[in-house]
């Protein structure tokens, strides 16, 4: 095991769907209801012969009124224990204030951050990734966790940071 990769992001952006896609099986719980992943859950994952730990987290609603602080702190614990972080955002929603706040908090961790713009279900939607450059994390990687688009490229980059 070369390291720990934590998957973080707002509720409902597709973190658990991405984790299942990487694992090649349905283990993480995917729900239409935001915030379903209550705890951080760690899995043994493998990509191109590299073994690593993959951590699914609950939604991380920083500074949001009425947020479930237990979920947020689980996400922060996950980042603290991780060697690198995949920040998942939702292409169909665009950049939100919560995304920006999360970037600030993640930056403070000093960990490498890979930006995955999820729900790019077809090439005609690839242009939606452009807006996410403004998060200042470098190249936004367009993916579709649901359909498996762009996952290989994302993992190639993520693994190198471990
Ligand atoms: P989480 O709360 O971040 O873990 O999000 P989930 O993985 O539970 O997914 C939330 C919702 O987004 C579910 O209805 C998923 O089916 C949907 N979803 C996840 N990935 C994709 C994707 O690539 N494309 C589309 N269109 N929907 C997705
Ligand atoms: Mg989840």
Q: Which CATH class is domain 4-160?
A: alpha beta
pLDDT tens, residue by residue, 122-139: 999 999 999 999 999 999
Reduced to 3 states (helix: H, G, I; strand: E, B; else coil), residue 143 is coil
Residue nearest to atom 14 of ligand 1 (CA): 32
Neighbours of ion ligand 2 (CB under 5 A): 15-16, 37
Please report how the helices 69-81 and 97-109 are oriented relative to each other, as an axis angle in degrees rounded to 10: 40
Q: Where are the domains of the chain?
A: 4-160
Residue nearest to atom 6 of ligand 1 (CA): 14
User: Greatest CA span in the chain, whole angstroms?
Assistant: 43
Dihedral of alpha carbons 81, 84, 85, 86, sign: negative
For residue 35, give both structure tokens: 């915030």
Instruction: Output the pLDDT for position 27.
Output: 65
Asked whether this complex has an ipTM greater than 0.90, the answer is yes
pLDDT tens, residue by residue, 5-41: 999 998 899 999 999 999 997 666 665 555 545 556 7
Q: Cα(148) to centroid of ligand 1, in Å?
A: 12
Average pLDDT over the chain, rounded to an integer: 87
């Amino acid at each position: 095991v070369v390291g720990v990769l934590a998957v973080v992001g707002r509720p409902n952006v597709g973190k658990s769907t991405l984790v299942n896609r990487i694992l090649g099986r349905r283990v993480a719980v995917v729900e239409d209801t935001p915030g379903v992943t209550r705890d951080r859950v760690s899995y043994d994952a493998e990509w191109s012969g590299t073994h690593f730990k993959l951590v699914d987290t609950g939604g991380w609603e920083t500074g949001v009124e009425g947020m479930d602080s237990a979920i947020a702190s689980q996400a922060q614990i996950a980042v603290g224990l991780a060697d690198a972080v995949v920040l998942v955002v939702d292409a169909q929603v665009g950049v939100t204030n919560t995304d920006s706040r999360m970037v600030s908090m993640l930056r403070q961790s000093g960990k490498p951050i890979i930006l995955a713009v999820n729900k790019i279900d077809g090439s005609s939607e690839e242009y939606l990734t452009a807006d996410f450059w403004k998060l200042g994390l470098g190249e936004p990687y367009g993916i579709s966790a649901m359909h498996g688009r762009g996952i290989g490229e994302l993992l190639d980059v993520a693994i190198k940071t471990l």
